């Protein structure tokens, strides 16, 4: 049977990895500055993570959500400790798209409204709000999505206000730093204004932290820099360091009832063990501080590139923007220097989303390679 061919693939077959090093089937070592799309938070095959999963699978890998699973509570407690989001409730699922679907559904259940407001160039997974950049990202929208989702320019509070006042919008969903769309962010004034407008119009604010969360920006969540209080926060990617797990944090004003949400695999024992190990390592290795230190170092180094147009993003969710398309440059980084980087909707942008365990020596290797190729 052939595979359903939806991804253009690089001709590399990774078979092994350790921290930032990935090895292919010929034993060639690559430096991973992409982390499998911001998924690898604590480094590949971290020993604590490996033993947590191994121990758990040999004890009990899975049982249904109809039976007590104390690991879910431990995960919730640890999340509160590291994120400071103490008043929220946790619902676990399997991916970012699923987290956002549940968030949108909950918002609509809560206030009885149906429409969604999202921002241009945003990306929220293959959900009904995933259509933001439909043409450019070649995402095929569900047939009804064009009617249900209003897309607004990032930063345009006036249009947000006009739409929310029509009292049809159950939720506004936003990435405080846009990922796939190209690392754009707006001002604190905008995010605070948005939060106020949502609260004034009985609309749920969903912070999509699927990519920007879990310490990647130096704060546990990217929205925390702006002092806002989203009613729902969606999580995935870095949460499991490669083990599929997602979730939503839900403000207590939204009440749970039996059957409101559900999932077979979400929050299973193995996923929780992986998620707990990730949080333990983030805490024990002080990785959020490392994010800030390495980010500063990266920014300084980037300033010395005369060809650079701008540096985008923050923490270890970074983009280097040039005045020319970077596809060839990225290929050279892979083939000549064995360095993985990422792309974005903006063809002139190299995306950097490394494991949060990255050190200065890795940044040095990257800039040396980049300077050679430029």
Chain residues binding ligand PLP by CB under 6 A are 37, 95-97, 100, 123-125, 175, 179-180, 208, 210-211, 236
Chain Cα centroid distance, residue 208: 7
**Torsion over CA: 355, 360, 366, 371 (sign):** positive
If the CB atoms of residues 96 and 218 are measured against ligand PLP, the closer one turns out to be 96
CA dist 78 → 42, 89, 95, 277, 290 (Å): 16, 13, 20, 10, 20
Which of 97/352 has CB closer to ligand PLP?
97
Q: How far is the CB of 367 from ligand PLP (least distance, A)?
A: 26
Q: Which is nearer to ligand PLP, 43 or 125 (CB)?
A: 125
Question: Minimum distance from CB of 153 to ligand PLP (Å)?
Answer: 18
- Minimal distance, residue 33 CB to ligand PLP, in Å: 17
Buried b (16+ CB within 10 A) or exposed e, 177-213: bbbbbbbbbbeeebbebbbebbeebebbbbbbbbbbb
Please state, in angstroms and rounded to a whole number, the distance separating the CA atoms of residues 275 and 267. Answer: 9
DSSP, res 19: B
**Which residue's CB is nearer to ligand PLP, number 312 or number 338?**
312
Q: Residue 212 Cβ, how far from ligand PLP at the closest point, in Å? A: 7
Choice between 124 and 338, CB closer to ligand PLP: 124
Comparing CB distances to ligand PLP, the nearer of 94 and 201 is 94
Q: What residue number has its CB nearest to ligand PLP?
A: 96
By C-beta, is 100 or 357 nearer to ligand PLP?
A: 100
Compute φ and ψ for 90, nearest 5 degrees.
Answer: -115, 130
Using the minimum distance from each CB to ligand PLP, give the nearer residue, 18 or 37: 37
Q: Helices 269-284 and 287-303 sit at what angle, rounded to 10 degrees?
A: 60
Q: How far apart are CA 132 and CA 119, in angstroms?
A: 7
368 SS3 class: helix
Smallest gap from residue 26 Cβ to ligand PLP (A): 29
3-state DSSP of 28-86:
CEEEECCHHHHCCCCCECCHHHHHHHHHHHHHCCCCCCCCCCHHHHHHHHHHHHHHCCC
Q: What is the DSSP string of 144-192?
A: THHHHEEEE-TT-HHHHHHHHTTT-EEEEEE-SS-TTTTS----HHHHH
Instruction: Write out the DSSP string of 209-224.
Output: -TTTTTTTTSSSSGGG
CB of 325 to ligand PLP, least distance (A): 22
Nearest distance in Å: CB 198, ligand PLP: 19
CA angle 10, 12, 18 (to 5 degrees): 125
Q: Least CB distance from residue 114 to ligand PLP, whole Å?
A: 21
Report the residue number, 41 or 100, with the smaller CB distance to ligand PLP.
100
- As measured in angstroms, the least distance from the Cβ of 126 to ligand PLP is 6
Question: Distance (Å, rounded) from C-alpha 60 to C-alpha 273?
Answer: 10
């Amino acid at each position: 049977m052939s595979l359903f061919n939806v991804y253009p693939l690089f001709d590399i077959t990774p078979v092994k990895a350790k921290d930032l090093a990935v090895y292919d089937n010929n034993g060639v070592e690559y430096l991973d500055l992409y982390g499998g799309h911001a998924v690898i938070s604590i480094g590949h095959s971290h020993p604590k993570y490996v033993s947590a999963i191994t121990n758990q699978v040999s004890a009990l890998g899975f049982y249904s959500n109809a039976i007590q699973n104390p690991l879910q509570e431990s995960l919730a407690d640890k999340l509160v400790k590291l994120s400071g989001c103490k008043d929220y409730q946790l619902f676990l699922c399997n991916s970012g798209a699923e987290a956002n679907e549940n968030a949108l559904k909950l918002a609509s259940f809560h206030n009885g409204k149906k429409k969604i407001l999202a921002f241009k160039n945003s990306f929220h997974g293959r959900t009904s709000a995933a259509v933001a950049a439909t043409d450019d990202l070649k995402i095929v929208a569900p047939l009804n999505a064009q009617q249900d989702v209003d897309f607004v320019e990032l930063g345009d509070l006036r249009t947000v206000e006009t739409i929310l006042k029509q009292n049809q919008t159950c939720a506004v969903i936003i990435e405080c730093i846009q990922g796939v769309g190209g690392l754009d962010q707006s001002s604190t004034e905008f995010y605070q204004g948005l939060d106020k407008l949502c609260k004034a119009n009985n609309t749920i604010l969903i912070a999509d932290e699927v990519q920007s969360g879990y310490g990647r920006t130096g704060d546990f969540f990217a929205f925390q820099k702006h002092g806002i209080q989203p009613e729902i926060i969606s999580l995935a990617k870095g949460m499991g360091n490669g083990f599929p797990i997602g979730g939503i944090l839900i403000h207590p004003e939204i009440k749970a009832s039996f059957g409101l949400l559900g999932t077979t695999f979400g929050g299973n024992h193995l996923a929780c063990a992986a998620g707990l190990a990730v949080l333990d390592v983030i805490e024990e290795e002080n990785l959020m501080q490392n994010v800030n230190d390495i980010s500063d170092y990266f920014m300084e180094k980037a300033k010395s590139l005369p060809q650079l147009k701008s540096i985008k993003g923050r923490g270890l969710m970074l983009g280097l923007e040039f005045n020319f398309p970077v596809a060839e440059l990225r290929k050279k980084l892979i083939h000549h220097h064995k360095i993985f980087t990422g792309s974005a909707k903006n063809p002139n942008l190299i995306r950097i989303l490394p494991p949060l365990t990255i050190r200065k020596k890795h940044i040095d290797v990257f800039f040396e390679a980049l300077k050679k190729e430029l």
